[in-house]
Amino acid sequence: MRKIKSQLIYNLKKDKGSYISFGIVVLITAIMLNLAFVLLFQVDKAYDDKFNRLNTASFNFTILKIQNDDTLKEDIRALDDVVDIECREAVFAEAVVKDFRDTDFSMNTLFYNKDEFRNMNKLDIKEEKAEMTDNSIYLPLYVSAFGEFGIDDEIVYEIGDTKHSFKVSGVAEEMQYGNYGKGLMGAYLPEKVYEKFAEEYKEQTVMEYSVITNGDINTLQNEISDLTEKKGITMLTSCDRVSTKDTRTMVCNLIILVLSAFAMIILLVSVFLCKFRISNSIEEDMVNMGVLKALGYTGNMIIAGVVLPYLMVTVFASLSGVVLSYSVLPVLAEILTLQAGFSFALSFDIKGLICVMIILAVIVSLFTYTSAKRIRKLQPINAIRGNGEGKSVKKNYFPLDETNGRTKFLLVMKQTFSNGKQNVLLFGVSFVLTILVAFAGTMFYNVIIEPDNFISTLSEEMPQIIISPDMEQEDFISDELKSNTEIKSVLKYAVGTVNTDDMPVTVFACEDFSRVSNDLCYLGENPDEKNEIALGSAFEGKYDIGDRIEMHNGDISHFYEVTGFVQSVNYQGNVCEFSLEGYEMLCSEKLVPALYVYLDNPADTEKIFKEIEETYSDKIISIMNYQKMTETTQEMYSGITSVIVVVIFILTILIVLFVLYIVIKTLLVKRKQELGIYKAIGYSNRQLMIQTIGSFLPSSVIAVLLSSALGMIYVPKINQFIFETIGAMKNNMEVSFVFLMIFAFVQITANLIISILLTKPIKKISAYALIKEG
Amino acid sequence: MKDVLISAKSLKKEFYTGETSQTIFENLTLDIYKGDFTIIMGASGAGKSTLMYSLSGMDRPTSGSIVFSDKEITEYNDDELAVFRRKNCGFVFQQIYLLEKMSLMDNVLTAGALCNDNKKDVIKRAKELFSLVNIPEITQKKFSTQVSGGEAQRAGIVRAVINKPSVVFADEPTGALNSNNSEAVLNVFTKLHREGQSIIMVTHDKKTALRGNRVLYIRDGQIFGDCDLGNYSETDNERERKLDRFLTEMGW
Ligand SMILES: Nc1ncnc2c1ncn2[C@@H]1O[C@H](COP(=O)(O)OP(=O)(O)O)[C@@H](O)[C@H]1O
Ligand SMILES: [Mg+2]
């Protein structure tokens, strides 16, 4: 072992810079991997723990109180696997929260009596005031944290034309609802306040049923909807354990996926880097190894000397990475809380540590070992003679006396080809490095530069302004707006709820889906005729394109033909699309769709919003600056994502620089003596710099350009994988060829600058010293 | 009267190793003449190589002046020195130092390309020189690791003279060769000298030294002795006795 030690120290010392750079790349991988693992292992568990602690129901649904039927509770209790059931009264309101992050946020809200005993769906009070006022309200953590409503603040719910002002007296965590992207929330009023409020909204008083099951959630839903259907009862709202969890942990899952994908690509980079470094250090140290062999060192001892430094660096760097990642985790947890709506603390995770260590150590040692294996076959005499593996017959590429062309150019070609293996590895490193850049760059592009791409993937139709006109004025306003030069288009669009198998399904109905700004359809086509329907991804598998499906609304029902499938991350795919006429068939009254207004320049929204508001104040029921609301939702989704993306992007640049540093340095160290000889013959520094850079730049430039161009193919694949996992079958992430090419050129320029910086010291060393050192 | 080719005045060379410095020579003055086959001898570590590389512009003296073909080369910067070397200096090393990744011929052409853009000319001259040093065409296409030390060194000499340098500098060119190979290499040098080539060669081998017409002896950082041997001839035994006496005097 002592014998190996001296070798090992020699190797470590000889190449400090490269090991440090390699270490940093591994460190970054370890940070990313550990973040991903800790989130993976702990957020889910923290969620379930809190979910169970608050005894949250597996399935909640509301029905109008007047439809309530005492037998329903007993019938549900009698169902298989049902463990417990609880009923409670609440007021359902299609409300708009004023001043939610500086905008009006429409949010269907269930107002509860906070003081009523809860066995299920308990509240975890985070903060509260000792004294109640006659307009006190307890807000869910979600609304409080993201909407920026603190204790003692005023919050205004606009219901119909009435504004209700409440004073925030407490904040509670609950695990019942999804996020506000889903548009359904709770609010909790002290008994006295509730009673007054419920009096005012008697006809909107609902019964909420909360059910806990041991069995499958879908089966339960189906059984319950069979029951309600039989009794002629309509569900107003529903939310289940699974889809709630999906929405609340979506950003977290997205981050885990992005981090893992990123870590995997860096890992690939480091693996190539190892291979590159090792095959080069074998060539550099061939004579040394030959001498050691001649002295009686065994192949394995020498291999250990080469592999162990990498393993040591890996172990050390990944440990440091894991430790470092814990300084980022609390921040990450806090931002995630905004989106997940419950607070959690991330603690040290031994499982994460072990996974990171095992993954990194195993992969690095595997690759270093296989690259170093050929040392064993090295014959001492060939090694000493510098003959390499002996077997490889050298070829004199481009013999100068027989090839046409300028000698100086041919010399570059000779270099390139006689270092063929090196250039192949360099090509590989540059290629995977570019995958990293393309991936991180595309994320950056879609989240930071063109955030609509990212947001529209996670949301539905996003006009700038939504107008609910008076019924008779609809066409008039529509026509007038269309003639406004600043308005790009106006679409009639309706959102509602219908039922199928008595489960509520959110409806998107549009006069012309070919004109929407966010086409949700990922399979087949959008509905066009009135008897057509496109179903959400939740229905894929149950129905095929061409099938017929029966949809209900109250007493009316119709059959529709399935034309395609649409996605909706917010509603977990529990949506459908109709043509306006198609939706109208299900409506008991005349349908008055909203007017979706699209502007040429979305930056003008505020101005035009005001104009429309003034001009048509007497002809419209309501008008909403949807752009602003979108921005607010956007903040929820992209806030943390953009932090992560920016960090990833910066790390990518660092990695690119470090890797290029190692690679180019390696190439130069190897050529040092050769350069000395050239210098002695009389080649100038400039000639040598051009020649050296010229011999390895082309392979990396080609790799970068090729990989960037292929990025058009592989980056969408990576994105597809990531987004499909969180339920977005079709993502609007754009891979910008121009952007990729810009990055390619940045990378190439970095390549060039680093090469020049690293080749510069050659100047300082006299030819004599170079020769002597070699 | 011979023309002075290199004139060194008050040369000083110091090496710094960490804290300590080591003076190799100081206040050394020396003229090298055109057409001479100058031999530099001295004990190991005396500073022979250091002196030779200073004279050739491969290394820089700490202070002093070197006038080479009427030019003050100590004032040149790195690249000017490189350009100067390619025209004026040819180098032959003990370790030969051929470029590994190319054939002997390509090694020679790599150097040749520096001074002459007419590739045909260069190839023609390379072929002539190869036949002068007895390296057949088949060997010219081999790599340095595939030929004997003697062949490699003769190719090294061809590379050194391809650009018709004013001086060929040779640092113990036969130091790593067996006696047959040494003989062949030395014959090439004699041939070149007879054609008028100026040569400066470092050696610590008496037989090698006999090839020169002037022998310098370095000791205590000075040119300790300077011996005019006259031109080499295979049959003249007087020269050998003269060199013996000189070396004994020098304390060899
Ligand atoms: N780059 C260097 N740094 C420090 N000392 C050196 C260096 N090059 C040579 N020396 C020292 O200078 C002295 C002369 O070296 P050299 O000229 O190579 O001797 P030789 O006469 O054997 O050719 C030696 O003592 C050697 O150790
Ligand atoms: Mg020497």
Q: What is the DSSP string of chain B?
A: -PPEEEEEEEEEEEEEETTEEEEEEEEEEEEEETT-EEEEEESTTSSHHHHHHHHTTSS--SEEEEEETTEEGGG--HHHHHHHHHHHEEEE-TT----TTSBHHHHHHHHHTTT---HHHHHHHHHHHHHHTT--HHHHTSBGGGS-HHHHHHHHHHHHHTT--SEEEEESTTTTS-HHHHHHHHHHHHHHHHTT-EEEEE---HHHHTTSSEEEEEETTEEEEEEE--S--TT-HHHHHHHHHHHHHHT-
Average pLDDT over every residue of B127-135: 93
Is residue A705 within a helix (H) or strand (E), and if so which, with residue range?
A: helix A685-725
Closest residue CA from atom 7 of ligand 1: B15
A763 to chain B: which residues are within 8 Å by CB? 78
Tokens 């660096």 belong to residue: A313
Q: Average the pLDDT over each of A132-146, A317-331, A750-764, B114-128 and give the range with the smallest value.
A: A750-764
For residue A65, what is the DSSP state?
Answer: G
Residue-averaged pLDDT of chain A: 85
Q: Average the pLDDT over each of A102-106, A109-113, A613-617, B103-107 and give the range with the smallest value.
A: A102-106
> By the 8 A CB rule, do A505 and A557 touch?
no
Say if residue A392's pLDDT is above 60: no
pLDDT given for residue A247 in this prediction = 82
Split at pLDDT 50, 70, 90, the class of A390 is very low
> By the 8 A CB rule, do A762 and A689 touch?
yes
- Measure in Å the smallest separation between the Cα of B174 and chain A Cα atoms: 18
pLDDT given for residue A664 in this prediction = 78
> Would you call B79 and A685 a contact, using CB atoms and an 8 Å cutoff?
yes
> Would you call B114 and A681 a contact, using CB atoms and an 8 Å cutoff?
yes
What residues does each domain of chain A span?
1-57+245-390, 69-232, 406-464+619-774, 471-616
Which of B97, B115, B116, B202 would you mutate first to test chain A, the one with the most A CBs within 10 A?
A: B97
Split at pLDDT 50, 70, 90, the class of B17 is confident
CB neighbour burial string for A94-105, b if at least 16 within 10 angstroms, e if fewer: ebbbbebbebbb
Say if residue A286's pLDDT is above 80: no
Say if residue A2's pLDDT is above 60: no
> By the 8 A CB rule, do A439 and A261 touch?
yes
What is the Å distance from ligand 1's center to B46 Cα?
Answer: 8
Is the backbone of residue A14 left (phi > 0), alpha (psi -120 to 50) or beta?
alpha
- Domains identified in chain B, total number: 1
pLDDT given for residue A560 in this prediction = 95
By C-alpha distance, the chain B residue nearest A381 is: B145
Q: Average the pLDDT over each of A410-414, B33-37, B90-94 and give the range with the smallest value.
A: A410-414
> By the 8 A CB rule, do B82 and A685 touch?
yes
Mutate to test the pocket of ligand 1, among B12, B26, B50 (most ligand atoms within 8 A of CB): B50
Which atom from ligand 1 is nearest to the alpha carbon of B44?
A: 22
Say if residue A299's pLDDT is above 90: no
β-strand A521-524 against A556-566: which pairing, if any?
antiparallel
Say if residue B19's pLDDT is above 60: yes
Q: How far apart are CA A57 and CA B221, in angstroms?
A: 97
**Of A566, A534, A605, residue with least CA distance to A459:** A566
Is the backbone of residue A127 left (phi > 0), alpha (psi -120 to 50) or beta?
beta
Q: What is the largest CA-CA distance in chain B?
A: 53
Split at pLDDT 50, 70, 90, the class of A375 is confident
pLDDT given for residue A643 in this prediction = 79
pLDDT in tens, A60-73: 999 999 988 888 99
A419 to chain B: which residues are within 8 Å by CB? 101
Split at pLDDT 50, 70, 90, the class of A544 is very high
Beta carbon of B13 within 6 Å of any ligand 1 atom: no
Closest residue CA from atom 24 of ligand 1: B45
Say if residue A648's pLDDT is above 60: yes
User: For residue A463, what are its two tokens?
Assistant: 């006009």
CA distances from B67 to A378, B54, B86, B163 (A): 50, 12, 17, 21
> In A, what residues contact B, Cβ < 8 A?
385-387, 394, 396, 399-401, 406-408, 411, 414-415, 418-419, 673-674, 676-686, 763, 766-769, 771, 774
Torsion angle in degrees (nearest 10) through CA of A36, A40, A46, A47: 120
- Beta-bridged to residue A170, according to DSSP, are A128, A138
Q: Taking chain B, what is the end-to-end CA distance rounded to the nearest angstrom?
A: 30
> Would you call A682 and B85 a contact, using CB atoms and an 8 Å cutoff?
yes
pLDDT in tens, A652-698: 888 888 887 888 788 777 777 788 888 888 888 888 888 888 888 88
User: For residue A244, what are its two tokens?
Assistant: 């709630």
Judged by a CB distance cut-off of 8 A, whether residue B67 touches chain A is: no
pLDDT given for residue A702 in this prediction = 92
Judged by a CB distance cut-off of 8 A, whether residue B26 touches chain A is: no
CA angle (A124 as vertex; A121, A130 as ends), nearest 5: 125
Beta carbon of B112 within 6 Å of any ligand 1 atom: no
B30: number of Cβ within 10 Å: 20
Q: Which amino acid is at A553?
A: N
A415 to chain B: which residues are within 8 Å by CB? 101
Split at pLDDT 50, 70, 90, the class of A389 is very low
Q: What is the ipTM of this complex?
A: 0.80
**Of A108, A74, A113, residue with least CA distance to A90:** A113
B147 to chain A: which residues are within 8 Å by CB? none
> Would you call A677 and B99 a contact, using CB atoms and an 8 Å cutoff?
yes
pLDDT given for residue B29 in this prediction = 95
Say if residue A235's pLDDT is above 70: yes
pLDDT given for residue A754 in this prediction = 85
Is residue A612 within a helix (H) or strand (E), and if so which, with residue range?
A: helix A605-615
Which of A398, A404, A768 would you mutate first to test chain B, the one with the most B CBs within 10 A?
A: A768
Q: Average the pLDDT over each of A13-22, A428-437, A546-555, A705-714 and give the range with the smallest value.
A: A13-22
Is residue A75 within a helix (H) or strand (E), and if so which, with residue range?
A: helix A70-77
β-strand A575-579 against A503-510: which pairing, if any?
parallel
Q: What percent of chain A has pLDDT over 70?
A: 94
Mutate to test the pocket of ligand 1, among B12, B24, B41, B94 (most ligand atoms within 8 A of CB): B24
Q: Which residues contact A483 (CB under 8 A, 6 or more apart)?
A: none
- Nearest ligand by distance to the CA of B62: 1
Which atom from ligand 1 is nearest to the alpha carbon of B16?
A: 4
> By the 8 A CB rule, do A532 and A563 touch?
yes
**Of A221, A190, A237, A195, residue with least CA distance to A92:** A237
Crossing angle of helices B179-194 and B149-161, rounded to 10°:
20
Which atom from ligand 1 is nearest to the alpha carbon of B22?
A: 5
User: For residue A32, what are its two tokens?
Assistant: 């990313």
For residue A202, what is the DSSP state?
Answer: G
CB neighbour burial string for A29-44, b if at least 16 within 10 angstroms, e if fewer: bbbbbbbbbbbbbbbe
Q: Which residues contact A525 (CB under 8 A, 6 or more apart)?
A: A534, A563, A564
- Measure in Å the smallest separation between the Cα of A682 and chain B Cα atoms: 4
Q: Taking chain A, what is the end-to-end CA distance rounded to the nearest angstrom?
A: 29
Average pLDDT over every residue of B195-201: 96
pLDDT given for residue A768 in this prediction = 66
Q: How far apart are CA A143 and CA A107, in angstroms?
A: 10
Say if residue B66's pLDDT is above 90: yes
Is the backbone of residue A368 left (phi > 0), alpha (psi -120 to 50) or beta?
alpha
What is the Å distance from ligand 2's center to B46 Cα?
Answer: 8
Q: Which amino acid is at A61?
A: F
Split at pLDDT 50, 70, 90, the class of A223 is confident
Residue-averaged pLDDT of chain B: 91
SS3 at position A328: helix
- Count of CA atoms in the C-beta half-sphere (13 A) of A397: 14
pLDDT given for residue A55 in this prediction = 94
Say if residue A591's pLDDT is above 80: yes
- Domain hosting B119: range is 4-250
Higher pLDDT: B1 or A559? It is A559
Which atom from ligand 1 is nearest to the alpha carbon of B17?
A: 4
pLDDT in tens, A485-521: 889 999 999 988 888 876 778 899 999 999 898 889 9
B102 to chain A: which residues are within 8 Å by CB? 396, 400, 414, 418
> By the 8 A CB rule, do B35 and B198 touch?
yes
Beta carbon of B24 within 6 Å of any ligand 1 atom: yes
Say if residue A358's pLDDT is above 80: yes
Phi and psi at A196, nearest 5°, equal: -65, -45
Q: What percent of chain A has pLDDT over 90?
A: 29
- Beta-bridged to residue A106, according to DSSP, are A96
Average pLDDT over every residue of A711-730: 87
Tokens 């906070």 belong to residue: A114
B73: domain CATH number is 3.40.50.300
Closest residue CA from atom 17 of ligand 1: B47
Q: Average the pLDDT over each of A46-55, A362-371, A414-423 and give the range with the smallest value.
A: A414-423
Say if residue B18's pLDDT is above 80: no
Split at pLDDT 50, 70, 90, the class of A391 is very low
> Would you call B159 and A674 a contact, using CB atoms and an 8 Å cutoff?
no
Q: Which amino acid is at B45?
A: G
β-strand A136-140 against A235-240: which pairing, if any?
unpaired
